[in-house]
A and B are shown apart, each in its own frame.
Chain A
Amino acid sequence: SQQGEEDPQALSIQEGENATMNCSYKTSINNLQWYRQNSGRGLVHLILIRSNEREKHSGRLRVTLDTSKKSSSLLITASRAADTASYFCALGARQLTFGSGTQLTVLP
């Protein structure tokens, strides 16, 4: 089954800085999703980007998709302490598969 791999595994930044995390995959996809998980909680959907889209925005989030490189990136601008969480990319058609995530820590 398809699976994305997030990079880096962990990222620590200061409040106000931008955070960028990446997802690489190996097979062709119809779409790619990003989710956030606060510690000990369920996942929250952030953005879905389709294979024919190159960029998508939602508030302070920007997601890009490069199907030729089989990679996606999630950019969080002007980060806040509340953005501290794990971020997962998810791939799949009928079933989603999740990578191991990027643990983002935003220091106040």
Chain B
Amino acid sequence: DGGITQSPKYLFRKEGQNVTLSCEQNLNHDAMYWYRQDPGQGLRLIYYSQIVNDFQKGDIAEGYSVSREKKESFPLTVTSAQKNPTAFYLCASSMRMGEFTDTQYFGPGTRLTVL
């Protein structure tokens, strides 16, 4: 099956801990994205990556970090500096980031809860 997988589906973290959310795609897409969604809200962009070894901050990057060492993988680390990390995290990919936006394909999401 082609698609995007995210793991784990649910994640619990104690305050002060860093946690890493996994995102893998086998669609051969160049671009990958991380979004945060709070209850009843839309999506806010955390980080995006257009190609391997390159990534850019989105609108709410503070307290988060990413890496893009492989085309297929774009893990997100939620650090202890993120003051309110409890949220639903969505990873997405698209064929490319060009002048005209491509369709984005989303993973199933990870729900992070800070205890």
In the complex, are the beta carbons of A43 and B106 less than 8 A apart?
Answer: yes
In the complex, are the beta carbons of B42 and A95 less than 8 A apart?
Answer: no
**Does any Cβ of A come within 8 Å of B97's Cβ?**
yes
**Does any Cβ of A come within 8 Å of B90's Cβ?**
yes
From A31, A41, A44, name the one whose CB has the most chain B CB atoms within 10 angstroms. A41
In the complex, are the beta carbons of B48 and A41 less than 8 A apart?
Answer: no
Chain A contact-residue range equals: 20 to 34
Q: How many angstroms from the CA of A105 to the CA of B104 in the assembled complex?
A: 25
Q: How far is the CB of B13 from chain A (nearest CB, A)?
A: 19
Contact with A along B75-89 (1 / 0, CB 8 A): 000000000000010
Q: How many angstroms from the CA of A97 to the CA of B105 in the assembled complex?
A: 14
Q: A88-B42, A93-B101, A96-B104 are in contact. List 12 more A-B contacts (CB 8 A).
A: A1-B59, A30-B99, A31-B100, A42-B108, A43-B43, A45-B105, A90-B104, A93-B100, A95-B45, A95-B101, A97-B42, A98-B42
Q: B-contacting residues of A (Cβ < 8 Å)?
A: 1, 30-31, 33, 40-45, 48, 50, 88, 90, 92-101
Q: A-contacting residues of B (Cβ < 8 Å)?
A: 4, 35, 40-43, 45, 48, 58-59, 88, 90, 92, 97-101, 103-109, 111
